[in-house]
Structure 1
């Protein structure tokens, strides 16, 4: 039975953080936004919201501009990182539009104030949005250079009292090596924070993993390309890796 046909999904979490990369929004394109892909992910989010789960989101900006790449090509790092933060706002607005077309009330909340397009980050206001079952998309990272959107997602998840971070990727969990390059790659069902750091497993950057570990916040890594995957995990189905303790 698939997650789409499960009659009585078992809700394990009441509030979660969904972290996805900007590249997840570009589909098969090499750059930018692919509207059908954005719409598909929005449908996934709606299906989980319809279970009664409160949802936070953080979306990367790598499909438009990646600060670290700009810095590597000679751009001043702080400027490059701010440009990357602005890219995340663009992605957040695109996701907001897709969700609201599905009837899901959504707020884009930016760490960099830009009142004409989204709300500034105020923790108590964001919590109130979640209590009203609005999806909150946190944009512009932490508002500081040198921090990734992985770290921003972990920070906001802790501030919002999320019960887990769901990291949507191209593969169905954490492997000991790249499964696309190595046929003998082995997937972990569970792995500890310290093992992720020691083995450089690439779940998230080291700052994000350490912040999750220090606050005992589970990270669930799953495939965003698998239709119904996000909802399926909340229904006790599907393939994924849990990073914890």
Structure 2
């Protein structure tokens, strides 16, 4: 396999499927099967999920809510999504562990780097919930931080589009796709890959990012096997 240990970053919105909000059980099941397929190849998988399908701290702040309070609410939304994915994975026969940056012992372990690494070595999927545990940081930053801490080979950012484009392909039909980019090119072109904190953290730690379409069946496995899926930033 091209990658031995990966950090899969999923957006909360991806879990909505065709719904306007919440969680689509069918989409969860599809993701669980995709992840199970790469576990079967011997790949170690860690996951970070956003919470935008339930609540966004930034949106709350825009409507007059205290930003810190809103961000903590967003962190709890990521835990709900993490628990849902954990349930779907275990239903598919995959062993999992959920670790959170905010202590909630009744439902998850606290994040401990050595414990997370040991779970991965034993073939368990480790899901990291509650972001970094700090307001003003996104789940992109949490994904990058956790990937660095567990020595992941790559961050795989699963989205609704099949890579990075010159513009939003869902709005601009003339947008063209990049196959590979350097970190400097992303800065120069002003492309939106991750938030700036997460992106800079990846660059400083030489951690490659691949943006790909998670909703196309088989893409995750093809990517792990080394096929040119999505856009590579390194």
Fold match (TM-score > 0.5): yes
Map of 1:158 onto structure 2: 148
* TM-score of the two chains, using structure 2 as the length reference: 0.98
Distance apart, 1:181 and its partner CA: 1.7
The match for 1:116 among 106, 112, 120 is 106
Q: Deviations over 1:175-194 (max 9, x none)?
A: 01011222221111111112
Q: Deviations over 1:119-142 (max 9, x none)?
A: 101111111101111000000000
* Whole-angstrom distance in 1 between the partners of 2:131 and 2:23: 19
* Whole-angstrom distance in 2 between the partners of 1:126 and 1:225: 27
Distance apart, 1:237 and its partner CA: 2.6
Matching of residue 50 in structure 1 with residue 40 in structure 2: yes
* Whole-angstrom distance in 1 between the partners of 2:10 and 2:146: 14
* TM-score of the two chains, using structure 1 as the length reference: 0.94
Number of aligned positions between the proteins:
234
* Whole-angstrom distance in 2 between the partners of 1:29 and 1:198: 36
Gaps of at least 5 residues in structure 1 are 1-10
Q: Secondary structure at the match of 1:85?
A: helix
* Whole-angstrom distance in 1 between the partners of 2:4 and 2:210: 15
Matching of residue 194 in structure 1 with residue 184 in structure 2: yes
Q: Secondary structure at the match of 1:226?
A: coil
Map of 2:94 onto structure 1: 104
Superposition pairs of residues 20-59 of structure 1, within 5 angstroms: 20-59=10-49
Matching of residue 232 in structure 1 with residue 219 in structure 2: no
Matching of residue 242 in structure 1 with residue 225 in structure 2: no
Gaps of at least 5 residues in structure 2 are none
* Whole-angstrom distance in 1 between the partners of 2:130 and 2:26: 24
Q: Secondary structure at the match of 1:212?
A: helix
* Whole-angstrom distance in 2 between the partners of 1:88 and 1:231: 25
* Whole-angstrom distance in 2 between the partners of 1:205 and 1:223: 19
| 4+ residue runs over 6 A deviation | none
